[in-house]
């Protein structure tokens, strides 16, 4: 069987790994083996944090809603959400938080309709 060196392909692989690890500290940006491992860990963190980001935004919407709801005479966020469900208003937390932040008079009308 003939010998295959694969220098061009191997160099391309290494170049790709090192270009993706640009900006990493110490050997992680210059040594292929270290760069490869740090890219694997970076990928794991990126996956997990994409999931966490959704939760963080939901928490932010809830905090904003709670503040707006208390200004409009409700006791708490949870009582407001319960009243929303009872009144069958089909707005989610994201939309409600945007309305509360950018259009407070509209949010006040929603609160009045619900209570």
Task: Give the per-residue pLDDT at 40.
Answer: 98
Q: Mean pLDDT for the chain? A: 94
User: Looking at residues 7-16, what average pLDDT do you find?
Assistant: 94
User: Looking at residues 79-99, what average pLDDT do you find?
Assistant: 93
Domains of the chain: 9-114 (1.10.1900.20)
Q: Is the pLDDT of residue 115 over 90?
A: no
List, for residues 61-85, the tens digit of each pLDDT value: 999 999 999 999 899 999 999 999 9
pLDDT-derived band at 33 (thresholds 50, 70, 90) equals very high
In angstroms, the CA 84 to CA 11 distance is 60
User: ∠ at Cα 43 (37, 49), nearest 5°?
Assistant: 140
Q: 96 vs 52, 85, 93, 112, 113, CA distance in Å?
A: 21, 13, 5, 14, 14
Q: Is the pLDDT of residue 3 over 90?
A: no
Q: Is the pLDDT of residue 41 over 90?
A: yes
List, for residues 45-65, the tens digit of each pLDDT value: 999 999 999 999 999 999 999
Q: In what helix (H) or strand (E) does residue 98 lie, and over which residues does it extend?
A: helix 93-102
């Amino acid at each position: 069987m003939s010998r295959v060196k694969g220098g061009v392909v191997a160099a391309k692989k290494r170049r790709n790994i090192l270009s993706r690890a640009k900006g990493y500290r110490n050997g992680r940006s210059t040594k292929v083996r270290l760069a490869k491992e740090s890219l694997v860990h970076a990928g794991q963190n990126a996956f997990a944090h994409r999931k966490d980001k959704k939760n963080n935004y939901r928490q932010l919407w809830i905090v904003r809603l709670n503040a707006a709801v208390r200004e409009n005479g409700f006791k708490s966020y949870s009582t407001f959400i319960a009243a929303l469900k009872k009144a069958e208003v089909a707005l989610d937390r994201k939309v409600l938080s945007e309305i509360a932040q950018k259009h407070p008079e509209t949010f006040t009308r929603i609160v009045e309709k619900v209570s």
